Amino acid sequence: MEQPQKVFSVEEANQLLSQVTPLVHQLQDLQDSIIKTNQQLDEQVQKLSQGNGYPIQDIRQQIAELTKQKLNQIEAFQSALQQLETLGCLLKDVTMGLVDFYSMRNDELVFLCWRLGEDQIHFWHSLEGGFSTRQPLE
């Protein structure tokens, strides 16, 4: 198991949500963009492989542009993810917007569990557990 960079109190983790929320939104947007660019690349590669009178030079140029775009999107995704990790958070599911924070509960290391759209952290789970095993803080 990796060692936690930081162990948060509930209050400390809640204070970070103003920084975490926009990063998670950015990661979701970038994931959607990468998926869309992949689909466009697949379409161009399909055209190239079929022939069918498509101008090959135009298709190759489009593939090159889409590839550059995808690399930029991946770089931006990695940068946003790094910013999140620098804060001490762990992104668990980009689509759901799930983020965990290491915390102590009854002398045991656990995760505080937050999901995009929640106003603050209300749940925790064991390090081995996940979203489906999260329990209320109170």
Cβ–Cβ < 8 Å for 8, 112: yes
Indicate whether 19 pLDDT > 90. Answer: yes
Indicate whether 1 pLDDT > 70. Answer: no
Q: Confidence band (pLDDT; 50, 70, 90) for 83?
A: very high
Range of 131's domain? Answer: 10-136
Q: How far apart are CA 83 and CA 21, in angstroms?
A: 12
Q: How far apart are CA 65 and CA 76, in angstroms?
A: 17
Q: Confidence band (pLDDT; 50, 70, 90) for 3?
A: low
Nearest 5°: the CA angle 3, 8, 10 is 145
1 is a domain residue: no
115 is a domain residue: yes
Q: Confidence band (pLDDT; 50, 70, 90) for 14?
A: very high
| Sheet with 98-105, edge to edge strand ranges | 89-93, 98-105, 108-115, 123-126, 135-136
2 is a domain residue: no
3 is a domain residue: no
Q: Average the pLDDT over 75-92 and give the result.
A: 96
107 is a domain residue: yes
Q: How far apart are CA 131 and CA 48, in angstroms?
A: 43
Query: Whole-model pTM above 0.85?
Result: yes
137 exposure class (CB count in 10 Å sphere: 0-12, 13-18, 19+): middle
Domain count, the chain: 1
| Cα diameter, the chain | 69
Alpha helices in the chain (DSSP H): 10-50, 56-87
124 - beta bridge partners? 112, 135
56 is a domain residue: yes
Share of the chain above pLDDT 70, in %: 97
36 is a domain residue: yes
4 is a domain residue: no
Instruction: Tell me the pLDDT tens digit for each residue of 36-65.
Output: 999 999 999 888 888 777 788 888 999 999
Q: Average the pLDDT over 13-20 and give the result.
A: 98
Computed over every residue of the chain, the mean pLDDT equals 93
